[in-house]
Amino acid sequence: MKLLLLMSWCGLARAQDGADASAPTAAVTEPATADLAPAGPAPLAEPPANAPPTSDDEIDRLTDEISTGLRCPVCQGLSVNDSPAEGARSMKARVRDLVSMGYTGQQINDYFVERYGTWILLAPPAEGANWTVYLAPIGFLLVGAFFVAWAGRRRPHRTPMMWRGPTQYTPTQYIPTQHTATIWSRIASGSWRNSGCETMGRWHELGRLGTATGRTGPRADHRPCRRHALHGRDQRRWPVGGRADAR
C-alpha cells in the first residue's frame, strides 16, 4: 500500500509538472488511492460458489485441471496449460486468481465462454451442431462395419471373377491331365449334375461350352449360385480333392 501511495504521488507530481501539449485529452478521473488499489484481479459478477482453497497445492491442481480444458487463443491445438505463449500464461494466471477466490471450474469455464465463445473450450459442449463431433465417429464406425459385412458377403461371388478369362483360366492350366477322364466320366454319368448352376459352371470351366462372349470359366455367361461358387485355394485344387469333390 505504501508503494502504491508513493506511486500515485509520483504520478500526480509528474502530471502536475508535465502540463505538456501532448497530454491525453480523454476524460480522466483524478487518481485516488482507493482506485489504484484494485489493480489486481477483479472478481466476477457472481459470487464464488466455493470457499477459497486453503492450500497452494490445491490451487495449482485446480488451475492445471481447468486450464487444460481451455484452448490457447494464439496457438494451434494447445491448451492454456500447455502453451508457453504470453497470452496463455496470462489466461492461466487469471484462472489461478479465480480459483484462489473460490470460483468453481464451471464458473470459470462460463466466464471464458462468455468472452470467447465455446471456441475457447477444447472439448465443445454436446449441443446443437457440436453433436456432429461426437456422433460422426460412431456414424463412420457403423458405415465401416456395414461395408465390411457387405464386402464379406459378396466375397464368394467376386473372387472367381479374378480367375475369369482364357489367359488365366484354362483347363490345361488348372485341371491336371490325369483327372480329365474322371471329370468327363462324372459329367457323363450325371453324378455332378446335382445342382444346376454348378454343373453349368463346370462345363464352362472345362472350356467345353462356348459362350457368346468367347469367354470360358465359371462366370463366362453363367453365374454360379453363391452356395456353389468356388474360390481361393479350393478352386485351384478343383476338381479332385477340392471342396466340390468332397461333397
Contacts of 160 (CB under 8 A, 6+ apart): 217, 218, 219, 224, 229, 230, 231, 235
Ranges within 2-41 binding other proteins (CB under 8 A): 7-15, 18, 22, 24-32, 35-36, 38-41
Question: Site for other proteins (CB under 8 A): how many residues?
Answer: 47
The dihedrals phi and psi of 229, each to the nearest 5 degrees, come to: -65, 135
Evaluate the CA torsion angle 194, 198, 200, 202 in order and state its sign. Answer: negative
Window 39-78: contact mask with other proteins (x via CB under 8 A): xxxx------------------------------xx-x--
Location of C-alpha cell 462324372: 186
Angstrom CA distances, 232 to 158, 169, 176, 242, stand at 11, 13, 17, 11
101 C-beta neighbours (distance < 10 Å), count: 18
117 binds other proteins (CB under 8 A): yes
Stretch that binds other proteins, among 90-98, 184-192, 197-205, 234-242 (CB under 8 A): 90-98
Q: How far is the CB of 145 from other proteins (least distance, A)?
A: 13
Window 118-157: contact mask with other proteins (x via CB under 8 A): -xx-----------x----------x--------------
Evaluate the CA torsion angle 77, 79, 82, 87 in order and state its sign. Answer: positive
Which spans of this chain sit near other proteins (rule: CB under 8 A)?
Answer: 7-15, 18, 22, 24-32, 35-36, 38-42, 73-74, 76, 86-87, 90-91, 93-94, 97, 112-117, 119-120, 132, 143
